[in-house]
Amino acid sequence: MEAKAAFGNDGIYVEKFIEEPGHIEFPIIGDRWVPLCIFLKETALSKDATKKLVEESPSPLYDA
């Protein structure tokens, strides 16, 4: 009822708790016509949000 009153839609989304989340980045290059994902990389170890110490490419977390 709260969702319907606040947003006009009673649908809800439920997120699953992930115990060991990973951080995967998708570097993209290109122009306005052709974007291209060049590779995937995972930050395996970081000091804080701006200082990455170890990155792996391709990411072992991504299984496609």
Residues known to be catalytic: 52
Write the CB contacts of 56 (distance below 8 Å, at least 6 apart in sequence). 41, 42, 44
The DSSP 8-state label assigned to residue 32 in this structure reads S
**Are 57 and 39 a contacting pair, CB within 8 Å?**
yes
